[in-house]
Structure 1
């Protein structure tokens, strides 16, 4: 008798679900069941999308021209606005033809790797990394090569580490600053050093700049393409409106890069999803062409919560929380908290077990380090209300201080 046919492809069966979304879904499920769960899992601002953006979407929904297909690469006026915004915010000049509007930042990530990678091509992925990056690389046929930098290095990899990880199969470097999950921000000098190394090595650079406007303590955002303009023909910028304008649910991102890569990715998208919702595109146009007042207001709140989070996490026995300089995450080193016995005789030996214990006993959802690289860490988003943040971190402290 022949073996049963595989029902799900090996390619998709090997892909892990988004750990951050799993944690967020579990927290919402428990809330719906009446439990007072506080969620630090999702990377989502707790602010509403600014009114002028919503109003642009309402007007767009009423306009019949938005009820039809539009170019797969995006509305021409939005692509023009993205090119202008990239010059304004990143200091990088690009042509409108170098922009592809995508269904959120995740599609930009996948499109880019699909356009660049052949089977077994390697991508250097600084770790801790956002959970989607390695899965998108694998889906595109590539191999993600982790390069880990811990809290002692500020969660930032060095040129020496990158050089040690290069093989004959290395094709690209992923560069993310500010970082999800750590909040690390590379200085202008560090950014240039990494960029020069990639240029000398002849590697592609995929740079995710979606947290560009969220830096603190006077740390500037530096686009690697501004630091090393010579990378223009071997780099792709990833970005979107989700974080800057509190538009996670609108699903508008983009990629910008050399014409041949953008053309290939546009061809892929034309078969996969076609154009992004025109109503969402019109909202994104209002966002990127408009002022940055809304993000400046959010940033004040994020900065306040950031400082409160760091102070509170460092008060928990066995927790060590470096001060993040960007994004809205704290990445806590909990290695000293592992192996201890807590309430009910529970002795977590991994950060995944510790996260489960915290959810079950304190009703607080956090994401374990296993989602982003090695065990021994927890990611907590401080993109939630001040009262929930204070209550959540106090529950963790009370649980783990006994």
Structure 2
């Protein structure tokens, strides 16, 4: 081969190699430019992947982290029940369908727990803190934004459920379910963002100009009403004994609920126990309406609101303990009440009731059962006697 032909062969081979390497070099250059411009931060909008699934955008957690001051109430307990029920459904296999279906249904149910918690916190942080916060009405109104925003997670769960209907054996439905799921996911993101915007708007000074006068009118009425009921209990002498009776009944329910929750291995059954305990707590806190020195004596009406709905961030404040004789009197915590009711003594038509009430305090110390006080009030002839632990 001549030197000229050899040179031409080398040039042709170089051109071929350049053409072969051009594509990967171009791809490398594009990737380098994207990384230099922060391309790693880019993300695509929700879309169907190769398996036909729609990935919902992360939803903000509407439930604050529980604190030591948390109060178990009706809404918070139902919220916990919904969460546990959703988790149970998520782990339940449904024959013939994709596991993603049960996970979607479970996620939808569990997300309602966040809505209930957000609603409870809105009420307890506002109306449940009358006298402790300058604008309780405004605080509760602003909290509706978080409650509405929390429903975005519920809609996202529905989106996952609809999308799961097009997976597995039901994959022929994917052309219909995938677009619907994508639309629901977009709606879920919009609801979550809209709830945050609404909350900020309702917390603005313009709205406070409306809610603040309402709070200024409601606060003294609620505080005065609570003081009046406590004054009646103190003046008549029935405040402490009535509070003691409610405390015994509430304590019995609290202990019974705690026993159910502690011995049950089923989360849903444990939630029932927590609900019973919550009812007992509310009954005990009702005693603060007539006894300023008992549980919930500091702010009886706001505290009762918090106790009813529950809270993950707020507690119920007890009153200042009395310095005189208390519930530990040898005549029983209801002695002054029974003295007022008995009138003529044993001949009084109320003597059976007063006898039961007068012995309520001493009977509860004769046994170690947490519900002994309630059993003693029910009496041995009652069909419920002996049924409680």
The TM-score with structure 1 as length reference comes to 0.20
Where relative contact order (Cα < 8 A, 6+ residues apart) is larger, the structure is 1
Q: Considering fraction of residues, name the structure with more strand.
A: 1
Q: Considering fraction of residues, name the structure with more helix.
A: 2
The TM-score with structure 2 as length reference comes to 0.20
Max radius of gyration: which structure? 2
